[in-house]
Chain A
C-alpha cells in the first residue's frame, strides 16, 4: 500500500507545488476558471430546474417524462464515463512518459496497474461529477427529496463509476493486446468520432423538437409511446435510475435487487480487471514501446497540393505552411476532426432547410431577414468554435520543437503572420459558404445577402487574429496532446473574447439593419439623420474589426518575442 501511495504521489505533489508557485497571473486564472465554472453550473441547474418544474406541472405525462429524462441523463453520463475511461486509460497505462521509470522500478505490476487506474478514475470522473451534480440537485429540489436522496447519490455514483472505469480499462487492455498502443489510440479516436457523428445525425434527423409538440401526434397513447424509450434492464445506468427514482418519489417497494446488481457488478469487474492486468497488461505496455511504421497513404497528393498552393510565397513561409499541413494530415487525432467539422456543417445547413417559415405567425419576409441577420452571429460562433480547436493551438503546435523557429532567421512577426494567413483563407471560404448557402435557403433580400456576406467576411479576419494572437499569448509547447491546448485557460479566454467580439459587431449592426429593413418593408425612405447614424455604426464596426486584428496580433507578437523557453 505504501508503494501505491508513493506511485500516485507525484501528481499530487506537483499539483500542490503548482498552487504554491509565484505569480499573480495564476490567481487571476483560478478566479476566472472558478467564476466561469460556477456560472456554467448555475445555468445547467436552472435549465434542468425549469424543465423539471414544467414536467411536474403536467399531469399524467410529467413524471414519465422526468423519469425518462433521468434515465437518459444517467445513460449519457455512464456512456461518457466508459468512453472517457477508455481514452484516459490508454494514456495513463500505456503512453505516459513516466511509465518507463515505474516499470524499471521494483514496484510490482499490480501496484503500477492500480496506481495508473487510480489516475484514470480521477482524470475521467471529476468533470462528470461536477457537471452531473447540478442536474441531480435540480431533481432533488423539484421533487423536494429527502436527505436520503442526496446520500444515495454518493452511494449510487460510486459503483457506477467503478463499473465504468473497470469496463473502460478492460476494453483498452484488450485493444492494446491486438494493436500497438499508438495505433489503438488512433483507432479509438477514429471510432469515437464516427460514433459521435452518427449519434449527432441520428439525433438531428429524428427531430426531437416534435416531442414538445403533442399536436403532431394523433393520440396521447402514440405520444406516450414515442416518449417511452425501451427499458434497459441490463444497463447499470438503469439500475441507478430505478434506485434514485424510488428515493426521489418515495415510491414504496424494495430496490434490493438493484442495490445488489450495482455493487456486485462493480466489485466483480474490479477483480476481473486486476486478474486480466496480471495476464495482459505488461505485454501491451511492452508492445507500446515499439516504433511505429510509416504510412504512405495520400503522400504524393498532399505534397503536390501544398507545393501548388504555396508556390507564390517566400521559402520561409512555404516551409512553415508545408510543415503544418503535413503534420496535420499525418496526425490522426488532428485530421479526423475534419469529419466532425463536415458533420457540423451538414447539420447546420440541414437545420436551415427544415425551418417551418411558412407556418410562423410572423410575416415570413421579416422572419427570413431577421434570421439571416442572426445567422451572421451563429456562423461567427461556429467559426469561433472551429478556430478554438484548429487556430488557437497553431502556435503551441510547434511543441518542443519550437527551438527550431526561435533559432532560425524567421522573425516572430513573419512566423505569426504566416500562421494567420494560412488559416485565414480556408476559414473565409467556409464562412462564406455557410452564410451564402443559408441565405439562399432563407430566400433573403439582396441587401441582407450583401450585408451578411460582407460582415462575416470581416468577422473572420478578427476571429482568426484573436485565435493566432491569443494562441501566442497563451502558448503551451509542452503539451502531450494538442487537443488539450484548445481546452486550456487560454482557450477559454479566446472563446470569451471571440464571443464578445462577434456580439459587439452584431449589436452595432442590429439598429441600422432594423431601420433599413423597416423602412424598406413600409415603403418609406430612410431619413438623413438615420443615414448619419447608420454610417457611424458601420464605421464603428470597421474600427472594431481593425482593433480585433491588430491588438491580439501585436500582443501575441510581443509575447512571442519575450518567450524564453
Chain B
C-alpha cells in the first residue's frame, strides 16, 4: 500500500506539488496523469527518495521513506523516464551492480538476471557495453533491472518512452501480471490509452494538486462528460473548450 499525506514540494517559491493526498491499495495499478509541469515527476522523485518533500509524508508498505529510507527503497522498483545508465558497463554487469545495491549476490542471482534478459529480449546484447544500446534497449534494461529484487511496489515514470509496440505490450502484460500477484504499480504517463487500458485507479493532477481521482467511471462523473480518458482529461484540465 502507498500512502501520500499532505505531500508538498516548493521550488524557489513555486509549489510544484501542493498538498497531495493519496491512498493506493496493494495490488493496484494506479495511473498518475496530468499536463506537462503538473508535478508528476516531482511526486515520483519524492516517492523514490530522490527528492525531499518540503512538507508531508510518504509511506510505502508501511515504511516512511523519510524515516526509513533504506528499508523503503529496498521494496521499490523505480523506472525513471530518462534512461541514464553507466555507459561503460555491460548489460549483465549493470544488472549485477543493481542487484548488489539491493544486497543480492550468489548463483540464484545469475539465473534471475538471465531470465529477465530473456524476457526483455536483451540476451544477445547482455555482454555489450550499454553505450552501444539504442534508446529503446536502454529503457528495456532499466525496466528489467528494476524488477531484479522482486519489488513490492513499482514506481514508473513514462514506461513506454522509446519502446517499440512489442516492448510496450510486454511491459503492459508484465504490470498486469505483477499486480495480480500483489505488486502495486504507480505509473505516471501521458499515454492516456495505456492508463485507460491497464489502470484500475487514476488520479489527474494539475498545477501540483489532484483535480480528480478514482476509477474511470468516477472520473466520468467528476468531469461531467462520458467517453474515453482523453475527453475526460481535457474536460478536467480545461483543454476541451480550446481543443
Binary per-residue interface labels of chain A (402-434) against chain B in the complex, 1 for a CB within 8 Å, 0 otherwise: 011111111100000000000000000000000
Q: Which of A314, A400, A401, A409 contacts B71 (CB 8 A)?
A: A409
The answer on a CB contact under 8 Å between B86 and A409 is no
Bound-complex Cα distance A338 to B104 (A):
32
What residues on B are CB-neighbors of A330 within 8 Å? 88, 129
Q: Contact: B49 with A323, CB < 8 Å?
A: no
Q: How far is the CA of A12 from the CA of B69 in the complex (A)?
A: 42
User: Nearest chain-A residue to B105 (Cβ)?
Assistant: A315
Residue of chain B at shortest CB distance from A182: B131
Q: How many residues of A contact B (CB 8 A)?
A: 31
Q: Are A314 and B103 in contact (CB under 8 A)?
A: yes
| Contacts of B120-156 to chain A: CB distance below 8 A | 127-129, 131-132
B90: contacting residue among A294, A315, A564, A565, CB under 8 A: A294
Q: Mark B86-119, 1 if CB is under 8 A from A, else 0.
A: 1011100100111111111100000000000000
Q: Does A349 contact B (CB under 8 A)?
A: no
A405–B128 touching, CB < 8 Å? no
Chain A: which residue is nearest B98 at the CB level?
Answer: A404
Residue of B nearest to A328 (CB): B88
* Residue A518 is within 8 A (CB to CB) of chain B in the complex: no
**Please, which residue of chain A has its CB at the minimum distance from the CB of B51?**
A564
Contact A399 to B132, CB < 8 A, known contacts A320-B100, A322-B97, A408-B102: no
Q: Are B132 and A292 in contact (CB under 8 A)?
A: yes
Asked if A294 and B88 sit within 8 Å, CB to CB, the answer is no
B132 touches A409 (CB 8 A): no
Do B70 and A409 touch (CB < 8 A)? yes
Set A291, A326, A410: member contacting B101, Cβ < 8 A: A410
On whether the beta carbons of B128 and A407 are closer than 8 Å, the reply is no
Complex Cα spacing A406 to B45, Å: 10
A401 interface neighbour in B50, B86, B105, Cβ under 8 Å? B86
- List the A residue with the shortest CB-CB distance to B11: A564
Verify B96–A319 contact, CB threshold 8 A.
yes
Cα-based distance from A207 to B78 in the complex (angstroms): 60
Chain A residue with the shortest CB-CB distance to B142 = A404
Q: For residue A562, which residues in chain B have a CB less than 8 angstroms away from its CB?
A: 52
Known contacts A294-B132, A564-B52; A315/B84 CB under 8 A = no
In the assembled complex, B207 has its CB within 8 A of some CB on chain A: no
Q: Find the A residue at minimum CB distance from B132.
A: A291
Contact between A316 and B100 (Cβ–Cβ < 8 Å)?
yes
B101 in contact with A408 (CB, 8 Å) = yes
Query: Would you call B76 an interface residue if the criterion is a C-beta within 8 Å of the partner chain's C-beta atoms?
Result: yes
Q: List A contacts of B99 (CB < 8 A).
A: 315, 319
In angstroms, Cα B88 to Cα A331, docked, is 7
Among A314, A315, A320, A410, chain B packs the most CB atoms within 10 A around the CB of: A315
Known A316-B103, A319-B100: A407·B84 in contact at CB below 8 Å: no
Residues of B within 8 A of A564 (CB): 50-52
For the complex formed, measure the closest distance between the CB of A55 and the CB atoms of chain B, giving whole angstroms. Answer: 50
Let me know if B31 is at the binding interface, CB within 8 A.
no
B73 A407 Cβ-Cβ under 8 A: yes
Cα distance, A322 to B73, chains bound together (Å): 22
Write out the residue numbers on chain B whose beta carbons fall within 8 Å of the beta carbon of A410. 70, 101
- For A398, give the chain B residue with the smallest CB separation: B86
* A565 close to B50 (CB less than 8 A): yes
Please pick, from A314, A315, A316, A323, the residue contacting B93 in the complex, using a CB distance under 8 A.
Answer: A323
Known: A294-B128, A401-B86. A407 touches B76 (CB 8 A): yes
Q: Does B174 contact A (CB under 8 A)?
A: no
Bound: A222/B241 CA distance, A: 94
B190 interface residue, CB < 8 Å from A? Answer: no
- Beyond A323-B93, A562-B52, is A401–B85 a contact (Cβ under 8 Å)? yes
On chain A, the residues within 8 Å of B80 by CB distance are 403, 407
Chain A residues lying within 8 Å of B51, measured Cβ to Cβ, are 564-565
Which of B93, B99, B104 has the largest count of A CB atoms less than 10 A from its CB?
B93
Q: Is the CB of A327 within 8 A of B104?
A: no
- How far is A3 from B149 in the complex, measured between Cα atoms in Å? 52
Chain B residue numbers with a CB within 8 Å of A320 are 97, 100-101
A293 within 8 A of B: yes
Give the complex CA separation of A562 and B76 in angstroms: 21
B74 close to A (CB within 8 Å): yes
Answer whether A411 and B70 are a contact pair too, CB < 8 Å, given A320-B100, A403-B84, A404-B101: yes
Report yes or no: B88 in contact with A409, Cβ–Cβ below 8 A: no
Contacts of B100 in A (CB 8 A): 315-316, 318-320, 322
User: In the bound complex, what is the Cα–Cα distance between A326 and B93 (angstroms)?
Assistant: 9
Chain A hits for B101, CB < 8 A:
316, 319-320, 404-405, 408-410
Residues of B within 8 A of A405 (CB): 101
User: Chain B contacts of A291 at CB under 8 A?
Assistant: 131-132
Q: Are A319 and B129 in contact (CB under 8 A)?
A: no
Tell whether, in the assembled complex, residue A400 and residue B84 are in contact, meaning their CB atoms are under 8 Å apart.
yes
User: What is the distance, in angstroms, from A400's C-beta to the closest C-beta of chain B?
Assistant: 4
Q: Chain A residues near B128 (CB, 8 Å)? A: 294
The 8 Å CB contact of A409, one of B73, B93, B105, is B73
Q: Which of A323, A403, A407 contacts B97, CB < 8 Å?
A: A323
Interface residues, chain A, with chain B CB atoms under 8 Å away: 291-294, 314-316, 318-320, 322-323, 326-327, 330-331, 399-401, 403-411, 562, 564-565
Known interface pairs A294-B132, A400-B82, A408-B73; 13 further A-B residue pairs with C-beta atoms within 8 A, sorted by A's residue number = A314-B103, A315-B100, A315-B105, A319-B99, A322-B97, A399-B86, A401-B85, A407-B48, A411-B69, A564-B50, A564-B51, A564-B52, A565-B50
Task: List 20 A-B pairs, Cβ < 8 Å.
Answer: A315-B105, A316-B100, A319-B98, A319-B99, A320-B97, A322-B93, A322-B97, A322-B100, A326-B88, A330-B129, A401-B84, A401-B85, A403-B80, A407-B48, A407-B50, A407-B78, A409-B70, A409-B102, A410-B101, A564-B51
